Amino acid sequence: MRNIILISIIKVCAIILLFMALAGHHHGDFFFFLRVTIFLISIGCAAWSLYQKHPVWIGLFAVIAILFNPIIPCYLDRSLWKLLDIASAAIFAASILSDLHLERKDNDEEGGYFMKSISDKWKIICSIIAGITILGIYYMFFILAPQRQHEAEQRREQFRLAEQQLLNAYQQSQVELAQKQAELAQKHKQESELAEQKREREYQKAKQESELASKERESKRQESVRNAEDDRQKREQERLAKEQRQKQNEQIQKQNELAKWKQLKIGMTKSQVEKILGKPESLDTVDYLKLERWKYATPAGFYGGGRVEFKDGKLSSWDAP
């Protein structure tokens, strides 16, 4: 019964450490101590399960020992470690309940006697593991915790000094910024006055240039008006000259056309007439009178076309245009 109680106390210590790892933020020393302690407790519980011939608990405690071993540590995500801590604590708690259940069952069967053949070596091992666990907890809470608290206070003091230095630097920067803003404002005022003077000079210059450009545009406009008038007169002269030449050409064509018609004589053949006047525009035939009429187009300068008549293939009459 004493061994069951001792093993249960060790498992309870493991459960307490696992839930401590879940609560709050700890330093690397705590997690190293947690690895070593859970590893040793898992090895001891696996050996106890082997002694009790419980293969399921042997496998579960072996897995916990592999996960928490400090020799070849497993590096996992923080959220996954939390799940593993909860699962490990549940395994330790379930093993305690299982041991108590088996103890009660054995007592019922054997009349209250329990495991009288347990060796003294196993008792020594369990005692050492329990002592290490108690010493670790004492070290964490009574030695390491005050050191961490002192370090935290030092860090807070350093942070306060740094904050004060930052505040002083900020105030100094604000003073320097105000001085620079005043200097920039004065400089901006001077630059604005210079820019205003420059704009005034540019305005006067642009005004003079605008007046000169207006005068130049006016002179160009007047010149363009004169050129346009000269071009109009020139075009008018060219038009009159062209109409004069056209009238002269029409007069010459009319004279030439009349000269052709004056060459006609009664009795000429069709080929002779065609050679003088050219091919007719249309022809009409009167078979019973043996007449053939040729009509010519109206030449330029005339009001009507010419007409010739053939009788029996000879020229009998004509009408000039």
Q: What is the dihedral of CA 305, 311, 313, 319, to 10 degrees?
A: -20
Q: Is 289 helix (H, G, I), strand (E, B) or coil?
A: coil
* Residuewise pLDDT in 10s, the chain (321 residues): 556 677 777 888 888 877 877 765 666 677 788 788 888 888 888 887 887 777 888 888 888 888 888 888 777 777 787 788 888 888 888 888 877 777 666 655 544 443 443 444 454 455 545 555 555 555 555 555 566 666 767 888 888 898 899 989 898 889 999 899 999 989 988 998 898 899 888 999 988 888 888 888 888 888 888 888 888 889 889 888 888 888 887 777 777 777 777 888 888 888 888 888 788 878 777 777 778 888 887 665 555 668 888 887 788 888 776
> Taking Cα atoms as reference points, which of 314, 318, 231 lies closest to residue 267?
314
Report pLDDT for 70. 82
Give dist(CA 74, CA 89) in Å, integer: 18
Q: Tokens 């605008």 belong to which residue?
A: 210
What are the residue boundaries of the structural domains of the chain, listed by start?
2-118, 260-319
Largest CA distance in the chain: 176
d(CA 225, CA 306): 52
CATH code 3.30.1450.10 for 260-319:
yes
Q: What count of Cα atoms within 13 Å lies in the side-chain half-sphere of residue 42?
A: 22
What is the token pair recorded at 274? Answer: 């065609």
The count of C-alpha atoms lying within 13 angstroms of the C-alpha of 202, restricted to the half-sphere facing its C-beta, is 6
Q: Could you tell me the pTM of the whole model?
A: 0.36
